[in-house]
Chain A
């Protein structure tokens, strides 16, 4: 309750200040940016993996920029709600979204109700990457996709756990190419997925990277990104295995379209400090999330590249947004 009051007071103060400075040109504001607290939206409930990294990032940004960075959780639709809210926000650099860029480079390709394109937003940088992988039990009799396919042919009706439309699509593509008989088990959330995997309910799942916390019980058979994972560099990527299905997602600082470049640069520089920040390193290391910093220009290029890449994959798979 204390926080709500404070937030209410801050926003009242902020509104007052906006009224006073409303007439000065944007450039002058960019010079002194930031002069007041920044609101960082996170599109997940408090306490999740991305929320955690977001809070650690907020702390780094706050230390670097010298103003408080307040995290506000806006859960709903896997970040789509938060992104909608950001799109409507003022492009003054004081509202930003910390989220997986999949909300822009994948969700719109799957859902008809989401119509974002990379050019709807500005990007101040990217900081961590998700180690999405096909994961299974340590003692499973296959270590690569090829071995898995051979095993699956001998075991028709095997079970695969899927958390998201993308993870269904990947298995359906592999099954289509090899004529496999698969039962896709719907899973809800990371906890459900770990239960299914550790309890030997399913033969394979698509994991967002959480399985790397269980080096004794679980392993990856393929990285679903375009790069090999720092947590398991010996495991091939899905593209190397011969299926062009690699899709990257990274935590990204997203801002409303039209935010002045000076502000983006300041945020980008502040974000870079996270690369060497001790607390930040501790948080992401405990969650097995690799730091892969990209500055604002690299981030913009990466958004464009990943969007095109994912779009091509969806088109090949014949996925229509629904």
Chain B
């Protein structure tokens, strides 16, 4: 505690605060620009961190992580082009809200949910890093495999109108994720001899193509109609559409709390990442809601759920890094580099040998949360104007940024081809009503599920009876079966009801 107070003294200096603000602002802007994101920000900043004092360098990197996680909601809401895959669920409800003229409301809720999730998760990190990391080690491949299997059941909730199409899209996601060198025999799968595909299709260019480029093409086709709509709602604004009302706060606070918890847990577990966090939170919120069918048509809770979990993952993914020296995310891996450069070794030794340094970093993280609120609030007024810009002016700019974002991931033109290929796939999946969200879930969870399943087979010595030693895995296995049964039952009931009153109420397009 003393250390933390001294830490604040160290951080609340003009120089450090400046770099935190630079990091948060840069992250927020990069996140808000479609196509660019964390990866770009980090690539720009690694060389910079060589010349900064350690706390400033690390604070800046953390600022980028936090800023981009929050900023990616902006483009998701305004343009339906999530800046990062983890904001894809934000777009599901945020974009419909924006089209209803409630862009400012959605943006504000997104920002508040981000900041609250971020702040609480940082507190969890500070209070519990060491003990939590020890517990996280109990989650081995066998447990992880069961948890991932359970996460797949959320596809049901996110599939949109047709469960079958949702599952097909998810299967495609899994299929594309199998490309690359297989981890057990090291034989390349489906690479067609292209060395570029050895390490698989990279998430960033794939997501940019699927989410941003494809969306721009679709919007290009509807440009006239979209512009007319923008004209119409720009004139009729009710003040309640621009702010978050008390009623909405009351409904969203439990959602944010749950999102934070889910995000924090997902961040601590190895190899899951922010996308899984926001998908799970969105799915869980939808399932808990009294009106699940309204999700996807502009429910403010959807934005709150996705964004709170998205940002809560960031600080908690540092738990394994600080406590054990294991990077839990891309940013965490980069942070190791920054820490090592300045002569620090992340891990248990760091707490013992450099407690002040750790406290400084914690203080910087808390400051970054507050700065994020300020930067985001100021930035939103500016970004919200985007919605008045005619689509034909937005599209070329977005496509340009997408190319840069894809290229910077690997410094090779191949990533741009990957982006274009998935733009094509994304275009048709939109036109034919296949959910790209379930595709993403399949893509992110599929390979982890395969790896942990293979690991489990070996660890259990191919003997199912040995599962008895893994109660957590059994628990999640049972949960999976129960959830699937529940979904099947509620779907049957829903189908029966829909058949009964399909003439009276036109079903929502999602």
Contact = CB atoms under 8 A, between A and B. Distances in A.
Interface of A: 1-4, 46-48, 51-52, 55-56, 59, 71-78, 80-81, 84, 110, 113, 157, 159, 164-165, 168, 183-188, 191-192, 194-196, 198-202, 213-214, 216-217, 282-283, 285-287, 322
A51 B336 CA distance: 12
A76 B415 CA distance: 12
A2 to B, nearest CB: 7
B459 A4 contact: no
Interface residues of B, number: 57
A197 to B, nearest CB: 10
Contacts of A196: 140-141
A186 B183 contact: yes
B258 to A, nearest CB: 27
B454 interface: yes
B151 to A, nearest CB: 18
Contacts of B325: 194, 213-214
A314 to B, nearest CB: 14
Interface string B183-210: 1101110000101101100000000000
Nearest to A284: B340
Contact of A81 (B137, B186, B196, B334): B196
A47 B46 contact: yes
Contact of A80 (B183, B184, B198): B198
Contacts of A164: 186
B423 to A, nearest CB: 21
A165 B341 CA distance: 31
B22 interface: no
Contacts of A74: 410-412
B324 A183 contact: no
17 contacts: A1-B40, A1-B44, A3-B44, A47-B42, A47-B336, A55-B50, A78-B198, A185-B141, A187-B183, A194-B325, A195-B137, A199-B137, A199-B138, A213-B325, A213-B345, A214-B348, A322-B186
Contacts of A216: 348-349
Given A157-B461, A191-B327, A286-B344, A72 B411 contact: yes
A84 B414 CA distance: 15
B270 interface: yes
B199 A199 contact: no
Given A4-B408, A47-B333, A55-B50, A186 B199 contact: no
Contacts of B140: 195-196, 199, 201
Contact of B186 (A159, A165, A200): A165
Nearest to B345: A286
Interface in B390-408: 404, 407-408
A186 B326 contact: no
B496 interface: no
A187 B326 CA distance: 14
B177 to A, nearest CB: 13
A76 B195 contact: yes
A223 B324 CA distance: 24
Contacts of A46: 42-43, 46, 334, 337
B271 A1 contact: no
B324 A198 contact: yes
Contacts of B141: 185, 196, 201
A165 B410 CA distance: 24
A80 B187 CA distance: 15
A73 B333 CA distance: 15
Nearest to A216: B348
Contacts of B339: 286
Contacts of B345: 213, 286-287
Nearest first, the 3 closest Cβ-Cβ pairs linking A and B are A199-B137, A47-B334, A183-B458
Contacts of B451: 186, 188
Given A47-B333, A47-B336, A48-B333, A286 B343 contact: yes
B221 interface: no
A52 B184 CA distance: 28
Contact of A213 (B44, B347, B404): B347
Of residues B141, B196, B199, B327, which shows the largest number of chain A Cβ atoms within 10 Å of its Cβ?
B141
A265 B482 CA distance: 69
A76 B199 contact: yes
Contacts of B326: 191, 194-195, 198
A59 B50 contact: yes
Nearest to B459: A159
B440 to A, nearest CB: 20
B146 to A, nearest CB: 15
A75 B343 CA distance: 26
A52 B410 contact: no
A283 B344 CA distance: 9
A321 B69 CA distance: 43
Contacts of B196: 76-77, 81
Contacts of A72: 411
A185 B324 contact: no
A20 B139 CA distance: 62
B47 interface: yes
A184 B138 contact: no
B455 interface: yes
A165 B320 CA distance: 27
B357 to A, nearest CB: 13
A188 B195 CA distance: 18
A185 B458 contact: yes
Contacts of A80: 195, 198
A214 to B, nearest CB: 7
A73 B337 CA distance: 14
Contacts of B324: 194, 198
Contacts of B347: 213-214
Of residues A56, A164, A195, which shows the largest number of chain B Cβ atoms within 10 Å of its Cβ?
A195
B333 to A, nearest CB: 5
